[in-house]
Amino acid sequence: MTSGFDARAGEWLARARESLDKAKLGPRADEIGRVERIGDGVARISGLPSLQLDEIMQFDKGALGFAHSLDENGVNCVLVDPAENIEAGDSVRGSGDVLRAPVGRGLLGRVVDPFGRPLDGGAPIEPERYDPIDRPAPPIIDRDFVTQPVQTGVLIVDALFALGRGQRELIIGDRAIGKTTLAIDAIISQKNSDMICVYVAIGQKSSGVRRAIDAIFARGAPERCIVVVAGSASPPGLQWIAPFAAFTMAEYFCDRSQHALVVIDDLTKHAACHREIALLTRQPPGREAYPGDIFYVHARLLERSAKLSQAKGGGSITALPIAETDAGNLSAYIPTNLISITDGQIVLDARLFHEGQKPAVDVGVSVSRVGGKTQARALREAAASLRLDYAQFLELEMFTRFGGMPDSRVRAQLARGARIRATFSQTRHEPLRLAEEVGMIAALQSGLLDALPLDKLPAFRASLRDALDRDAAKAVAQLESAGALDRPLAEEFKAALAHHAQVVAAKTKGTP
């Protein structure tokens, strides 16, 4: 018994000596920084000469930050956690790693902060891995043409300003006139598509974020949505990294030949956050006190949306950034920057909104620089002259306000324009399918709606889905799959529209 124990003890001692011989013994330098001052979410750190830009820094009391700017005398650290317990003199260490966000299918259906920490009360996220939040945009050689449509379900957008997969379309307008609603409708409309949706809220009130989340989860496909929240009460650093983290989460799916839609709500608040951080770190201010790199920050972010070539998998990221204007001023610094970066803009007008035109899209100044190249053929053919007709109506309406008796031709044009405007009105969070959009435009253009009073057009639209599914099911299926109709199904589709218009007209006449 003793000899066996001695043998095992000798074997253990031999392995221990071998491990000690391989160990590298000697002094090791451990860099420790000190907090010189702290306030408003920014700390000035001395020491840490080997720290790299954007490196994560950890304070001894547990809070995290990242190196925003470096100079020969110290580091400006932007905090991403509350700083109540941090004081001057506390120690801080570098992590050796840059800012990263979790990626993977485990994020789908969840509400998280930019670091993937759950905000919905659910279980901790189990990501596939952590990727850097700052990633270079795909080079030109890796991109393909934007040709596949993104159906937003908003008739005025899909008919006049078609969006494509890989496009960057700015949604811009004054406060509280439907910008977020338009973007949420685009997310809800992807319920029957294959797109992954990422909604990121930056500096928004909790009540507004709650309404957006409720709409997405109640009417959309939450199992294919990720909600990233950095609210108004979050530290400025967390708000600043939020859109970058959202793009990283979307790029995981894009790299796997899937398609993603990223809604950034909104970049005006992100720009204000960037300005706040820049002024607190004593960077020189420029126009409207914004630092000189604000254009570069947003361009670097939005350039990550693209349609990849087939050699790279053919995935795409479509971006819908939101920007807020003051009194409709599109020539302000941030709006002009974003308009020049994006591939078009959907401008919402406060006057139209208060007149009851919802969505309050200003047709005159809105544009999509991709346009008909991505539009479904059936919708493009139906809406061929619609924008010109509507623009002429708006001009005629303005002149007739000065008085005078227009002739019969002008009166007919005004009546038709009023029907176009009524057709474009739409209830929020009720996006239309492609078949319903084609049906509404075709019925308008063919004169089927002329017999209906303007106040009955909402009833026509509300019951159109059931009528088409009942009377033209094959045509609806072909439209949704191919975006066009062959001749026999086109005739069936027109007949179903005519019958539905007759039914609604008969109900209208029977109404006392």
Sequence letter at residue 471: D
Phi and psi at residue 325, to the nearest 5°: -105, 165
Domains of the chain with bracketed CATH: 33-97 (2.40.30.20), 101-375 (3.40.50.300), 381-509 (1.20.150.20)
When the pLDDT of each residue in the chain is averaged and rounded to a whole number, the result is 89
CB 185 within 8 A of CB 429: yes
pLDDT at residue 152 tops 70: yes
CB 78 within 8 A of CB 65: yes
Phi and psi at residue 177, to the nearest 5°: -125, 20
Task: Report the C-alpha gap between 73 and 357 in whole angstroms.
Answer: 57
pLDDT of residue 28: 62
pLDDT of residue 295: 95
Sign of CA dihedral 182, 183, 187, 189: positive
Sign of CA dihedral 300, 303, 305, 306: negative
Task: Report the C-alpha gap between 464 and 435 in whole angstroms.
Answer: 10
Q: Between 323 and 23, whose confidence is greater? A: 323
Compute the average pLDDT of residues 88-106.
91
Could you tell me the pLDDT band of residue 26, with boundaries at 50, 70 and 90?
low
Compute the average pLDDT of residues 410-425.
87
Cα–Cα separations (whole angstroms), residue 168 to 126, 134, 139, 367, 411: 30, 18, 16, 12, 39
Q: What is the pLDDT of residues 294-339, one digit of tens each?
A: 999 999 999 999 999 999 999 999 999 999 999 889 999 999 999 9
Residue among 491, 168, 142, 476 at smallest CA distance from 320: 168
Q: Which helix (H) or strand (E) holds 112?
A: strand 110-112
pLDDT of residue 252: 96
Bridge partners of 316, per DSSP, are 259, 307
Name the residues annotated as catalytic: 369
Quick one: 331 exposed, middle or buried, by C-beta within 10 A (0-12, 13-18, 19+)? exposed
pLDDT of residue 404: 62
pLDDT of residue 512: 44
- Strand 129-132 versus strand 100-103 pairing type: antiparallel
Cis ω on the peptide bond leading into residue 138 (within 30° of 0)? no
Bridge partners of 91, per DSSP, are 34
CB 334 within 8 A of CB 170: no
pTM over 0.75: yes
Map residue 226 onto helix, strand or coil.
strand
Q: What is the pLDDT of residues 32-85, one digit of tens each?
A: 889 999 888 899 999 888 888 889 999 987 889 999 988 888 899 999 988 788
pLDDT of residue 405: 61
